[in-house]
Structure 1
Amino acid sequence: GALWVPIVGQIAPIPAVIAIVENAVANGVKTHLETEVRGIKVENGEVKGIETNNGFIEADIVINAAGLYADEIARMAGIDYFEIHPRKGEYWIFDDDVPGPRRVLFPTPTPISKGIVVTTEISGHLMIGPNAQDLPPEEKENFATTEEGLEQVWEGAKKLWPRLPPRSKVIRTFAGLRPEPTGGDFIIKAEEEVWGFINVAGIRSPGLTSAPAIAYEVVQIIESDLGIELKEKSKWNPYRKEISHFFMMTPEQVNEAVKRNPAYGKIVCRCNNVSEGDILEAIERMKFIGVKTPSVDSVKFRTKATTGTCQGSFCRPKIVQLLAKEYGVEPWKVTLKGRGSEIGIGDVKVLLRGDGA
Structure 2
Amino acid sequence: MRLTIFRETGIAGAGARIGCLTGAPDELRVLPFDAIPALTGDPRLRPAIEAGDLVALLAADPGLESTAFALAHSQAAGTTPANAIDRAAVRLMAPLLRPGKIVCVGLNYRDHVEEQKIALPERPLLFAKFANAIGGDGDPIVRHARTSALDLEAELGVVIGRRAHRIAAAEAMRHVAGYTVVNDVSARDLQGIRAALPPGASGDGQWLRAKGSDTFCPIGPVLLTVDAVADPGRLAVRSWRTVTDGTPEGRTMPMQDGTTADMIFGIPELIEYISEVIALEPGDLVATGTPSGVGVFRDPPVFLEPGDLATVEVEGIGRITNPVVDAEGCAPAGSPAARLLAGTAAAA
Q: TM-score range by the shorter chain?
A: under 0.3
Structure with the greater alpha carbon radius of gyration = 1
Instruction: Name the one with the larger helix percent.
Output: 1
TM (normalized to structure 2)? 0.26
TM (normalized to structure 1)? 0.26
Using CA pairs under 8 Å that are at least 6 residues apart, name the structure with larger relative contact order, 1 or 2. 2
